[in-house]
Structure 1
């Protein structure tokens, strides 16, 4: 059975739900399907090819059409990528010569001559007023005719698509995985969960939904289906109200709440009443969002439902008519009085808050007894703290230098980043080491004992996805802080955007830094050729979509750090445009090909974040001369208009330094803990697949693994995080 949600399975799992249809001779069509997939960097597994070959030709063709549309969008090949300079990367002119040519053409045009002369007399010419600047000068087909076919190379990306189970089974499994994730999902992940939750509301549910945002999305579907709500705190009800209004379930952005039908009001009030009746102390959670609770009370009319008095208490607290002291407030009072031990005892009732406060508590402790009390409390409550929080604190302590003067990097949930000097006193070394040992022991206790652990060495430097918000959605995207090798002679960035209403100008640029993070040079529309690279030309309007490219010969690059960035010069933001994405390709010089070749794309990620400057990743040259990518997924506030690489290079360099010099907990750390208790540990050589079941952890799922194997790749790396 074909389901409209099957593309979600392909995107999230790289599996095609089990194709069904009349038996037939679909071998030829299956091979053609495989060839079409390879042209965009995908391939059918042997098992899937065999299955399709035994079905009718029509069934294979239908499967191919649906799948090709999905994978082409995954890699960015669903749109046309044109370039301003038709021969790019060849024959890109010198920047000054190009601008002079544009001025000469404007002077030769009767419509623009007078205005151009007037600007020249003033000494400044606005490039956007020149008719030959900023818009494509040739159709897409003409550009294609100027480029040779791509020559296939062994290094071209080839993502294997595997045979999945029945469509409903695959959708149910994906729903359970997303809903039960121990780490927050990104914006696209929440959107997909919302679609799946509506389909799976009546089916099996996760044993636990630890992430509050996920619970809100699931509750919205359960409310629609008339199934009981899953509520643990009063804030769960507020998140659900935001979900019903189409707002932000993370509660980071304001939501305009809507009037609600009587049946929905009754369900929310009944849920609130049950939560507070069971645990009156949870009324203290109201203080964090008092104003929003007041607005929700205006929509729920709790006074009309006297049968739920505990629900009415929630709104009384929000209005200040009923007291409910918060744990945070009581903790602050104790710390203000210098009672660290008292604060620690109080926080033991909220293990997560205690863990998040460890740094501050240890710095506030004035005696050894107080420091011992902090560490002892952490050791005591550790089994009750969620896995992501334990890992986050473990990572924090690892990076907590004993000397001051380091950079402190802040990144919020939306990817907005800023950096400052770390002026905090150091955490005492003995307590820091004792806590690290305790956290390692706790994590090792939670990890399952593996019989046979099969590890792809290429995945070891991938950062643990402690939050899905630290990873953009897309193909080949890794969590913030991950390091991955870059193999190829030519590195080519691309950005695509399509405006919604207003004229919008995105500018692709690349900043080149030396080992001290000082500027060496840059490539942008103001510097079209330099540093072993070329810019494809500035496009300033994208009603039908537009692309810009930067091509770099890695062997000729000056400097040790390349920071591609997308600056919004004017118009709509990343979250306002109809579509926008960034990516990079790797190829060899002799391959030639078009400016955009899907099977050379190594990464394509959506650009959907706050701010006016996007920093997807950086490329670093190591002491061995090899280049590696360091994943950033960051956004800078920038300015409302005219953002340029020249204007933000100091900020970008400081931020990149702060990220690069901060060490992340990686798959290497977690597999090291897992290996201690594993019966067998094998480092995969890329060829030999064990005969029996294994737990495989790698970048790509190999063909031929035992059906009972557990498989972890970047698509479901969150499954490694212990609950």
Structure 2
């Protein structure tokens, strides 16, 4: 399968069909084979006989994308209808320990866990029997498939159209206003090598991570062209950080990469051509460190030589902006706000909620003006005149109004959502670059501001955001359809660390379960020399996020939820499954106070997720969940993703039984070895409550669409057939909410 064809399928839902004719004897079986893995075509009439043969690689790719590398089989042949009559794990382990006394080898332990002589076999919590596993997989191949299909709808195109669409997608990714996942970045690297980056306007690439990626690709492919790109000194520092494995946020020292004289000439020429050369003084310490390896005196670059000479003489203020801002904020709020508006409007937007809360606090200078004891030299502005809360508020409103056009739109919208919530929603959660999470617990009302001031701030932010949106172009001649339910999908702002699954949505977003009868969760792993035990579990929480029940290897069933049994090793690749009967779960939920069901994948022991030969998880939506049907059917997979990183457990999503929705959690959490639901349930409950609450503090895709309709003068319609612009969750939509690159590039 060609790399461009794979990227076209994964990112755009496109399948290349060679030129030629189509005969029913060939096309009908082809369509049937694709249907078996849940793929259907929006334009089946475009299929040609030339797709026969190449389709096998594509079908293998689809299976892998949906989480299947080999046939899967459960530990219990009777799953989910029939489980062992007795499976008290703790009691079984105690008896096994007694049995194994004196012969502590692996084989003896496996035999000690075999209780078939007293009717306990097959018992869970055992190492994998590879011969039996292979026989079970062969038996699975003989069973019928599920009647339900979670369709992937794709479109047949020619090779030329594929390249055109991929170029447009690449431009959209680079100009996106959010970070990109690592797998997307890798695909962009492939496209840059194959198609070039000539169609990307460097000035349109605003998000710093995406600029750094673009310059890194250009450095690898055509570095002499770098001076013509308009790269800034900060762009170069981030490029150096990327090339040396550093942090592109530039909050840490940047190592200068080992460069040839020709490479150094490219860097110096880029600085010489930059109209932002003076920015080197903003990062003086970093540039002085770089200067030692750059040797600017070797090159004919008069602007650079003169600027670096002044840089060495410390003729300009070399303190960092954050430090200057925080020092000034402690003494003179109004001066600090003015400084942020002038030099760092993005910081003004990101810190708006904190600054708003500080308007009621008195600075040392204000204490001095009021006769207090803590006067400071830096507080000159406040001496002799007390700066009132009203004056601070007016200054902050004026700063937002004056700097509004320079605050990134995504920052404005995020600030608005935070202000609107006004400290009501806690706990909250912050996500790291690796998908790790940090819950933030504060009392309700933390950093809240009075209602009248909140209304003033919201009006200022709205005016600034609407002005930026209106400047993107007039829509007065357009009719717009916004698909119902997009208020449940949050606007992505950090796709970098989201799971590499079939769909790409922001954490806290919701998608409907639909009419499926059973949600079947699964985890698959194959170890590579290190015995590894992954455990699939599910926790039941009530509406207040209290743990009320669980199913795991220590409790294989509680009625609506059924576990397939625990395997403690996977030399041949092992699987665990957990069924949730959705109708029964809703009924039991009313009786037992269940509201949320939270799957968790624990790394109980062994290698980290990313050190395993294979590690994936996901969920199917099924109608035929019985031992008479295949335990795994790729056509029923709603989402599947690779397990990555070195954390102890993963929380992919939760089922909201009351709303019939799946909410994306998608976090990895550290923990102790041999973690289980009994010990981590409270922490998981706190974490998912914070993710559920993100809806109150984030912008939805519906919010963004409606704002564009209003600010750009479009007419909203309720029939997509009457619309010239559509927002939805299908490839027919102008802006596809589940493939958000275009939306993020054009609307933010």
Give the TM-score, by structure 1 length.
Answer: 0.84
Tell me the CA shift for residue 493 of structure 1: 0.9
1:162-199 CA distance string (max 9 Å, x none): 13452322331221111111211122222222222222
SS in 1 for 2:706: helix
Cα displacement string for residues 62-113 of structure 1 (whole angstroms, at most 9, x for unaligned residues): 4423432332222123344333223322322243179739966995999669
| Alignment map for 1:71-470 (pairs within 5 Å) | 71-93=62-84, 94-96=86-88, 100=92, 107=99, 133-136=126-129, 138-145=132-139, 149-150=143-144, 153=147, 156-164=149-157, 166=160, 167-201=162-196, 203-206=198-201, 208-223=204-219, 224-229=221-226, 230=229, 232-245=231-244, 259-272=258-271, 274-275=273-274, 278-285=276-283, 290=286, 300=294, 307=301, 310=304, 324-337=318-331, 339-349=332-342, 350-366=344-360, 367-401=389-423, 406-422=426-442, 424-445=446-467, 446=469, 449=475, 451-469=478-496
Partner of 1:511: 539
8 Å contact 1:102–1:132 — kept in the other structure?
no
Q: Which residue of 2 aligns with 1:706?
A: none
Distance 2:23 2:264 in 1: 55
1:560 to 595, 600, 609: 595
Tell me by how many angstroms 1:530 deviates. Answer: 2.3
Relative to structure 1, is the Cα distance of residues 170 and 645 closer, same or farther in structure 2, using a 3 angstrom cutoff? same
Aligned-pair distance for 1:258?
A: 5.2
3-state DSSP class of the match of 2:170?
A: helix
Q: Secondary structure at the match of 1:715?
A: coil
Helix, strand or coil at the partner of 1:348: helix
Q: 1:240 to 1:492 in 2, by over 3 A?
A: same
- In the alignment, which residue of structure 2 is the partner of 1:613? 649
Q: Please name the residue that 1:638 is paired with.
A: 671
Q: Unpaired segments of 5 or more residues in structure 1?
A: 121-129, 703-708
Shift, 1:30, TM fit: 2.4
Q: Which residue of 2 aligns with 1:124?
A: none
Cα deviation for residue 280 of structure 1 reads: 1.7
Q: Does 262-271 or 561-570 show the bigger shift?
A: 262-271
Q: Deviations over 1:6-28 (max 9, x none)?
A: 211110111224x333x334443
**Equivalent residues of 1:470, 1:633 under 8 A apart:** no
List per-residue Cα deviations over 1:307-327 (Å, max 9, x = no partner): 477489779979999851222
Deviation at 1:139, TM superposition (A): 2.9
| CA apart distance, 1:254 | 9.8
Q: Among residues 716, 719, 722, which one is paired with 2:743 in the alignment? A: 719
Question: Whole-Å Cα distance in 2 between the matches of residues 106 and 132 of structure 1?
Answer: 16
Contact 1:270 1:308 in 2 (8 A): no
Deviations 1:488-521 (A, max 9, x none): 2211111223445533322221111112222112
Q: Structure 1 364/711 Cα, relative in aligned 2: closer, same or farther at 3 Å? A: closer
Superposed CA RMSD: 3.7
Shift in Å, 1:117:
13
**In terms of Rg, which structure is larger?**
2
Alpha-carbon deviations, 1:624-646, whole Å to 9, x = none?
A: xx42112112222223x222222
CA drift of 1:618 comes to: 1.4
Structure 1 residue 681 and structure 2 residue 716: aligned? yes
CA-CA distance at 1:342 after TM superposition: 0.4
Shift of residue 462, structure 1, vs aligned partner? 0.9
Could you tell me how far apart the structure 2 residues matched to 1:340 and 1:658 are?
Answer: 32
Cα separation, 1, equivalents of 2:306 and 2:574? 54
Runs of at least 5 residues in structure 2 that lack an aligned partner in the other structure: 114-122, 361-388
Kindly tell me: are residues 613 and 317 of structure 1, through their superposed partners in 2, closer, same or farther at Cα, counting changes over 3 Å? Answer: farther
Per-residue deviation, residues 602-633 of structure 1 (Å, max 9, x unmatched): 111233345322111111222xxx42112112
Equivalent positions of 1:581-600 (< 5 A) are 581-589=616-624, 593-600=629-636
Q: Rate the CA distance shift 1:452–1:73 in 2: closer, same or farther, 3 A.
A: farther
Matched, 1:654 2:686: yes
Alpha carbons of 1:71 and 1:248: their partners in 2 closer, same or farther (altered >3 Å)? farther
More divergent stretch after superposition (104-113 vs 357-366): 104-113
Could you give the per-residue CA deviations for residues 252-293 of structure 1, whole angstroms, max 9, x where no partner exists? 999987533333233234334554x73424432355xx5xx7
Q: Secondary structure at the match of 1:540?
A: coil
**May I ask how many residue pairs the two structures share in their alignment?**
681
Distance 1:217 1:421, change over 3 A: closer
- SS of the aligned residue for 2:567 comes to coil
Q: Distance in 1 between matches of 2:152 and 2:717?
A: 23
| 8 A contact 2:125–2:566 mirrored in 1 | no
Are 2:429 and 2:439, in contact at CA under 8 Å, matched by a contact in 1?
yes
Q: Which moved more, 1:111-120 or 1:434-443?
A: 111-120
Distance (Å, rounded) in 2 between the aligned partners of 1:611 and 1:694: 46
Query: 2:150 aligns to what SS in structure 1?
Result: coil
1:294/1:315 contact within 8 Å kept: no
